[in-house]
Amino acid sequence: MQPEYLPFPALLCSVLSISRQHYEVTLDPGRALLSWRKLRPRSVKGRTRAGICLTRVLHRARGLAKSFSRQITSGSVTVPLTEIVSVEEAEIDGKYCNSMKWQHMCKPHAFTVRYIKRMKKHRWRCGEVTFWCSEEQMCCHWLQALNDALNQQTHRPKHLLVYINPYGGCKKGKQIYEKKVAPLFSAAGIAADVVVTEYANHARDNLYDVNLEKYDGIVCVGGDGMFSEVLHGLIGRVQKDSHIDHNNPSACLSRCSIRIGIVPAGSTDCVCYATVGINDPVTSALHIILGDCQPLDVCSIHHKKNFLKYSVSLLGYGFYGDVLKGSENNRWLGPARYDFSGFKTFLTHHWYEGTVSFQPAKWVIGSPRDNKPCTSGCHVCRQSSKQLQELQKEQNCRFEHSEEEWTTIKGKFMAINAVSLSCACPRSPKGLSPAAHLADGSADLILVRKCSRLNFLRHLIRHTSKKDQFEFPFVEVYRVKNFQFTPKHFEEYDTESTDIGNVSKKNFAQICTDHPSCVCSHVNSSWNCDGETLDQTAIEMRVHCRLIHLFARGIEDAPLTDDSNPSKILPME
Ligand SMILES: CCCCCCCCCCCCC/C=C/[C@@H](O)[C@H](COP(=O)(O)O)NC(C)=O
Ligand SMILES: Nc1ncnc2c1ncn2[C@@H]1O[C@H](COP(=O)(O)OP(=O)(O)O)[C@@H](O)[C@H]1O
Ligand SMILES: [Ca+2]
């Protein structure tokens, strides 16, 4: 008997077996759903042909639903076609055949569907179900129909370029990729060209030479530093190809259409955590396979007319700059180097003087303290970026630098942090700015003024709790499109020279000789830019709305998890 195809939207419906139980299995391309519902054994008994243990019933959808409506028991599962990971002919394993008494069949016909199962805390796992058909033709029909449905999802990657940092985090990048990610890619029919990096900036440099047209995406296995490397390679390459000078702080940068996937294997993994909701390699691999797409704001950092770096996570001066500096000699501690250095930095309790100037992001519809975090398909991001686009059209992509719009704050700061996403990570599950948005074209500028050690601790502790970390008189937060920072000694000794860095170093040395009591290392801090120290302290930063795209979808709203919802658990699992 042939499965019956209805005219568009064609619906395929059969009774197939899962672990010797009969199921009504429906593929509804119109609604893009695959579902299976358990049938009572006695109801299908009469239809079972001796020796085959299978019944094939083909009905029009309505008719079938009607005739089986009383036979349907619990254990119904519906999977959107967009969440099917792979479909393949099942491999029949000997043990299974024996135990299931299939041995008398010459060739059982079965296919396996892998699909997304949502677990707690945004973790995804791969569910697997094998459907047994009575004959080859039916199996082929199902395989064909499911593969056709998957092939229609043209946003899924087919060919990826993978960079692995073997030394990131706990040095398990290679192992994580080989054991957890590669098998999923290969099941999903994704071809991957793998480069295990041999030195820092290997991936970045390689991206300038590689033929990007061959690939549907780039994957980096490592931490925020490794992601930053890939980001620099890709953005740099695209600007080079489009003849855009990245040294011009006002340049309108070309967007990168090729997506980047992050398989977390680093120390902080905050870009992954803040865009996926968890730092879990399997979850990331599944988002890549499904071809998710999340636009992301990127900040460019300049010192006068010199490009320094891009940043997507934390650009931090003072506390986080010092934490990074202090951690550099303790790399051998792995991820714990930040905790150790954080503790030491907290005890030293330094503050730094300087001037911060910024322009607010007028187009955004959110604010840093509105308690509305960025979620999957975020309305705030969509609306804000639309308004920015309209504004830019009016201004022909020029940035307003009109003096009256700048707010200037001079002071003594414990920390100056600029984040264009929440910076949520395992150490701080809500992040440095819990309501920052991934793709609204703005960054949150957090100023922590000089305060007592106890107060600073109170502020820090709030990063780990649900309480508002900005609710202190010494903390200010602004949603900005750009900012500039000049440390105090720079202001005093700055000249009109173009080579500011050299002049300042010379002058700085002068100050220290003149004032032997001065502890130079405490006069200025340094900038932590996504885990790398910047050479300059006087910088300007600007946000580029949606400059890159990730294989992610943002953080899903209170997900209905498969492990918290028993009705969705497969009976055979
Ligand atoms: C006393 C209690 C203190 C708890 C404070 C917890 C706050 C932790 C917030 C960390 C936010 C980190 C933002 C991410 C920065 C990464 O770009 C950078 C580099 O990460 P990587 O080493 O490449 O994974 N990591 C750090 C720690 O600077
Ligand atoms: N093969 C390599 N040898 C040394 N350093 C590397 C190598 N590959 C990448 N790196 C650098 O290591 C740094 C840290 O990597 P990352 O993966 O972010 O780990 P972590 O999160 O532990 O800092 C990055 O700045 C990256 O440029
Ligand atoms: Ca943002």
Catalytic residue selected from 216, 224, 269, 297: 224
The dihedral sign for the CA sequence 89, 90, 94, 98? negative
Q: Residue 64: which pLDDT band, with cuts at 50, 70 and 90?
A: very low
Portion of the chain with pLDDT greater than 70, in percent: 79
pLDDT at 500 over 70: no
For residue 564, pLDDT over 60 is answered with: no
Q: At what angle do helices 453-461 and 336-348 cross, to 10 degrees?
A: 150
Ligand 1 atom closest to Cα of 270?
14
pLDDT value, residue 523: 87
CA distances, 563 to each of 153, 318, 556 (Å): 27, 43, 16
Could you identify the atom of ligand 2 that is nearest to the CA of residue 201? 27
Residue with the smallest CA separation from ligand 1 atom 18 is 531
* Fold assignment, 155-292: Rossmann fold (3.40.50)
Per-residue pLDDT, averaged over 523-528, amounts to 94
Estimate the crossing angle of helix 319-327 against helix 336-348, to 10 degrees: 130
Residue 42: the pLDDT is: 57
Among the bound ligands, name the one nearest to the CA of residue 227.
Answer: 2
153-177 exposure pattern, b = at least 16 Cβ within 10 A, e = fewer: eeebbeebbbbbbbbbbeeebbebb
Supply angle C-alpha 273, 277, 278, rounded to 5.
60
Determine the average pLDDT of the residues in 258-271.
96
pLDDT for res 169: 87
Query: Residue 561's pLDDT band (boundaries 50, 70, 90)?
Result: low
The Å distance, Cα 225 to ligand 2 centre, comes to 6
Distance 419 CA to ligand 3 centre (A): 8
Residue range 91-130, pLDDT digits in tens: 765 445 544 554 444 556 999 999 999 999 999 999 999 9
Nearest atom within ligand 2 for CA of residue 227: 18
The confidence score (pLDDT) of residue 563 equals 53
Confidence band, pLDDT 50/70/90 cuts, at residue 477: very high
Give yes or no on whether 12-153 and 155-292 have one common fold.
no
Ligand 2 touching residue 332 (CB < 6 A): no
Is 514 catalytic? The answer is no
Residues 357/483, Cβ–Cβ less than 8 Å: yes
pLDDT given at position 391: 87
The closest of 146, 152, 148 to 111, measured between CA atoms, is 146
- 535, 329 Cβ separation under 8 angstroms: no
Six-digit token pair at 29?
């391309």
Q: What is the ipTM of this complex?
A: 0.95
CATH code of 12-153, in short, is 2.30.29.30
Q: Which of 72-76, 333-337, 521-525, 539-543 has maximum average pLDDT? A: 539-543
Asked if pLDDT for residue 572 goes beyond 70, the answer is no
- Which ligand does the CA of 266 lie closest to? 2
For 98, the 3-state DSSP assignment is: helix
pLDDT at 248: 95
pLDDT tens-digit readout, 346-377 = 999 999 999 999 999 999 998 999 999 999 99
SS (H, E, C) 475-515: EEEEEEEEEEEEEHHHHHHCCCCCCHHHHHHHHHHHHHHHC
**How many Å apart are CA 142 and CA 149, to the nearest integer?**
11
55-69, 200-214, 525-539: least confident range: 55-69
Per-residue confidence band for 185, with pLDDT thresholds at 50, 70 and 90: very high
Residues 158-170 have a mean pLDDT of 95
* 234 in Cβ contact with 220 (< 8 Å): no
Domain boundaries, the chain: 12-153, 155-292, 326-397+405-541
pLDDT digits (tens, 9 = 90+) for 373-423: 999 999 999 999 999 999 888 776 555 555 558 999 999 999 999 999 999
Mean pLDDT of the chain: 85
Percent of the chain with pLDDT over 90: 72
Residue 63 has pLDDT above 90, yes or no: no
Ligand 2 pocket residue status of 266, Cβ below 6 Å? yes
Q: How far apart are CA 6 and CA 12, in angstroms?
A: 8
Residue type, 489: H
Nearest Cα to 416, choosing from 433, 400, 395, 401? 433
CA of 275 to the centre of ligand 1 (A): 16
Q: What is the mean pLDDT of residues 136-155?
A: 94
Atom in ligand 2 nearest the alpha carbon of residue 331: 22
Q: Does residue 499 surpass a pLDDT of 70?
A: no
Distance 561 CA to ligand 2 centre (A): 34
| Residue 226 Cβ < 6 Å to ligand 2 | yes
CATH class of domain segment(s) 326-397+405-541: mainly beta
Rounded CA separation 336/253 (Å): 37
